[in-house]
Structure 1
Amino acid sequence: MTPDDTTRDDATAVDDRLEPALRQVREPNADVDVIDAGLVQRATLDGGVACVGLDAATLDAGTIREVTTAVDSAVRDVPAVDSVTVRRAAPTSDPGATGTDAFERVIAVASAKGGVGKSTVATQLACALAANGDDVALFDADIHGPNVPALLDVSGPVHATEDGAPRPVRSEGLEVMSVGLLSDGAPLAWRGAMAHDAVSDLFADTAWTNTDTLVVDLPPGTGDVVLTTLQEVSLDGAVVVTTPFHSALSDTEKTVELLRENDVPVLGTAVNMAGFTCERCDHDHDLFAGDTPPAERLDTTALARLPFTPALQETPTPTAIPDPVADLAAAVEERYDAVWSVDLPESGVDLRGVPADERRDAVADAFGALEAGEEFVVASDRDPTPVRAFLGDLADGDAPERFEVRRQNPETWLARTVHP
């Protein structure tokens, strides 16, 4: 890896008259120009005086001299330039927070089979969330088929912080990390342990600066890398991608089961290639037969039906979100809020974080304040099923007939009943 960012972003001020010359200068350690390599922090031209600031904090001394000399020579040949000053600029970028715990939330995109459009949905969703105002990062964990760089049209090299942590590549405000950015395009024939270590290291070490939402593009299936992610990364939700084809749905049931077994909230299902609109007759047509809606068969929430359309095959960008993808992002936000927002009625009791020796009194006080027929809701960080018997004791042995228990998210159980 080589130091610092890999792509020019809007914060990089480069005078249009100097840019063509700077793009002729190559970063010696990678086959990209110094602008795309992130080495040019600024390049100004005022009254014939050109000033170029280079962010080369972790380049070795020999490489720094080579780049500085090449930049000076290239800019000096610009007709409007009378004099050139090249300085090493002080780094202005955030060194970044490492590890997935740095994020406000982590959402995985999963599928049971390859070829259903999982990576396309992951990249489109990341762009849509960014368009809604989030600082979004995208992690391509599909180690044997890392398609995210090609879908977003980004490439390496991956640079490093002063501490040696890999920096994600930037693409129109998104931060992107993928093993595909680290390889030279050769097939990745890694055995289980190697794949496990590679993904674990990238999850732990990548220096992120966009820390609102991390979208993780999981590999298809239920293999080692998927299990590693479920066990080592605290996922706040998962979007399951499938086509309506019967064999895809059959396999997807196993993916949904695996996610739930590992306490990952399944936000819902995005049905890709759900149909298409005929250009001649302007009628909608299904691509796959089937009477049962996929989300119903999978016992999940239907997030979106994504059509087979050229708009979803174009390079995703936060500045141009197709309507079906915007609807998907809105549905994901709604489901995420539903899963993680716990709104208790005033008559309810929240036992989360309450010491064990105080819980009975808290339940007794709240339940005792109710009138017959009023609803009683308990929020707990453990299975509240035993509360039913305790309520029976409080009501002179008349245990509630209806006592519904539901795990809303990995941290919260809800119990609902009515005071007898």
Structure 2
Amino acid sequence: MKKMILSGVTALALLTGGVIGSGSIGSSVEAAQATLKFKDVPSTHWAAAAINSAVEQGFFQGYADGTFKPGSPVTKAEMASILGRLTDQPNAAIQETNNFTDVPEWAKSGVSAAIVKGFISPANYNGKLDAKASLTRGEMATWLAQGLTVVDSDYKQALSDVSNTVIPAKEYFTGKLASNQKNAVAVALGTGLMSVANDKNFGTDRTTTRAEVAVLIARYTSVAKTKPADFQGLNELRAVGLTGTNLSIIAPKYKVLPESRYPESEDYSKVTGDFAKIRNQELNTVTHYADIKLKNWIIVNPYVKSDARSIYYPVFVDEGSTLLRGAYYSFPEFEISIKTSMNQLQGGSLINSPAINPAISPSSKAVIDYGVSHINSFLGAKGVFNVKKPTYWGLGYLHFDKTLNPRILLERSDGTHFEIIPQ
């Protein structure tokens, strides 16, 4: 896909500053030079380069007092007009009608264009866009994700695939992420379009600033030129959504043994390497203190850097953490139903696997920062569980050294068993 550029200058009747209006662009050189003179955008500003580019391309202009106001919020009408002017964004296959009754005259054509290009779906609104309101990050994620589905149908599939995924944002772990924005947030994070803030929240209710929009224009252009399968983070989110684990992406050496490796007496039809077949299913336990299910299972390789890292690394692992003898981190999410009473030690005896350990939870600072559910929240005096049905994340170690029992065996009550080993 070619670089997205402006389709022309849409007349945006803003009193001052804001999104650039008709007749005010000038030359690209002049716009770039003007950006460099903004009193409130020094060269050290985190979005300086993106602001330069956005002004150069005509998306924004400065204010009469020589400022850009990078922290000022952007309204829905302003953002819709920007998105509607991306010429290389294809039109949506199904065209919806602009039936909004509250869009100011100057923004009507821009909003209509954003609808045509698939960024905004009027069906998600009740006749009013609330066009003058500041655009929230949650709604921004929704608009951008919807735009991507028009660019490549696999993005539409990705939006569906992440419905049951684990999202690396604090709101997910604390139960504060709205269900109608969850999938879009997952795609925004998985593609790198958007990220969490220093407090680990995605900030769905926070407003989107002019500086952020300048950055997002460039990021959207880049993501739209990239296949969904080329984003490891998105691949992980999709895999967890569909199967409950990112094992096949982070630790692909772990596989089910072929039938030839099993004795003839073994019913191989009961053997599976598909975690989805045991996800959320009641598992047989070594002891019988409780019934147990695995909701999700996240694997993190602590040795790789940069883009090769799991998207879940910052959620569970502190920077610089390593393990002995080449092990990976294993983070299973348990749903436990205690029969009478059970202490922490007894919980650890439910499943005999170093990778799937219900006795402890990760103790990293990252886990605390992200609000990941911890076993300690459910333990009372003498380590006895004080609730009957706790749900929390455990900590285990995925081994590759065959002397450390790398085999993983989990069995359902009907005899179906998930059995994998590094090969």
- Per the normalisation by structure 2, the TM-score is 0.27
Q: Which has the higher strand share?
A: 1
Q: State the structure with more CA Rg.
A: 1
- Per the normalisation by structure 1, the TM-score is 0.27
Q: Which has the higher helix share?
A: 2
